[in-house]
């Protein structure tokens, strides 16, 4: 059974949802506080999967995911980079996506392409379901339709890339795009992968769509739980 780690920090609040999603997908999942890794009480190399969940890590006091990213960069940089180079799976959801971007792990480690995530163009917190187009060439989305539904919940989800959008597109690193852009993201981008393909960061919450009953249309039509499929694809490829 693949061992998976959900990395907890002060302010994360989707730890359990991520843990449950991994368990349902067949992984041996654990929730581990970041201090346990920093203090060597747990070792990242003992796991095949790392998930950085959503929430408001460290209160987002310096910006969404910023403090968490600094901690990751200066306390765990070598172990995380070795983990990625080994081809192990990394998934960053919402705040976790912000952490991966601001720590420089996405679009790639030490990439020349600079991207960020900022305040939604409307200046308000958004909590709703959105329609997304997927990059069907990525293993993460195997078995999915060309368009899927997932929920979002963020105030700083606007993907900022400028001219880097074209480069990401050319390299096949755009994982998801919004059909109707809710936050002003450049290129309608909702998620990206690294060039290796084993690190995925996305603003929508696959951990909140593990059962068809979680979808608002579940009573009137059959819906596929796309989040469950994504987690199963990750565990299968770990």
pLDDT at 110: 77
Looking up tokens 């796309």, which residue turns up? 226
Give the separation between CA 58 and CA 45, rounded to whole angstroms: 25
Q: Provide the token pair at 36.
A: 């346990």
Whether the Cβ atoms of residue 52 and residue 9 lie closer than 8 Å to each other: no
Coil, strand or helix at 64: coil
Using only C-alpha atoms, the chain has a radius of gyration, in whole angstroms, of: 16
Q: Which of the residues in the chain have pLDDT under 70?
A: 219-221
The reported pLDDT for the residue numbered 225 is 94
Q: What are phi and psi of 174, to 5 degrees?
A: -85, 115
Residue whose C-alpha is closest to residue 204's, from 214, 217, 218: 214
pLDDT given at position 211: 92
Closest CA to 49 of 77, 71, 21, 11: 21
Label residue 205 exposed, middle or buried (CB < 10 Å: 0-12, 13-18, 19+): buried
Q: Where are the domains of the chain?
A: 3-237
What fold is seen in the domain 3-237? Rossmann fold (3.40.50)
Q: Return d(Cα 102, Cα 234) in angstroms, integer.
A: 23
Could you tell me if 130 and 180 are in contact, meaning their C-beta atoms sit under 8 angstroms apart?
yes
Q: What are the DSSP calls for 193-209, one per residue?
A: E-TTS-EEEESS-GGG-
What per-residue string of b and e applies to 175-202 under the rule 16 or more CB within 10 Å gives b?
bbbbeebbbbbbbbbbbbbbeebbbbbb
How much is the pLDDT for 219?
Answer: 67
């Amino acid at each position: 059974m693949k061992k998976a780690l959900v990395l907890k920090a002060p302010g994360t609040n989707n730890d359990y949802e991520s843990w449950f999603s991994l368990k349902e997908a067949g992984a041996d999942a654990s929730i581990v506080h970041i201090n346990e890794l920093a203090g060597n009480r747990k070792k990242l190399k003992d796991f095949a999967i790392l998930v950085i969940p959503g929430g408001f890590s460290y209160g987002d006091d310096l910006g969404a995911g910023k403090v968490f990213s600094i901690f990751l960069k200066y306390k765990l940089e070598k172990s995380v980079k070795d983990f990625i180079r080994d081809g192990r799976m990394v998934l960053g959801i919402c705040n976790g996506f912000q952490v991966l971007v601001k720590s420089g792990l996405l679009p790639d480690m030490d990439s020349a392409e600079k991207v960020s995530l900022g305040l939604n163009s409307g200046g308000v917190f958004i909590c709703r379901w959105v329609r997304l187009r997927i990059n069907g060439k990525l293993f993460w989305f195997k078995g999915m339709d060309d368009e899927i539904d997932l929920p979002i919940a963020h105030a700083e989800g606007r993907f900022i890339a400028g001219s880097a959008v074209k480069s990401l597109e050319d390299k096949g690193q755009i994982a998801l795009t919004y059909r109707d852009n809710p936050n002003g993201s450049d290129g309608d981008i909702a998620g990206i992968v690294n060039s290796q393909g084993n690190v995925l960061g996305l603003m929508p919450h696959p951990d909140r769509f593990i059962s068809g009953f979680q979808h608002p249309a579940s009573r009137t039509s059959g819906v596929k739980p796309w989040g469950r499929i994504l987690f199963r694809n990750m565990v299968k490829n770990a």
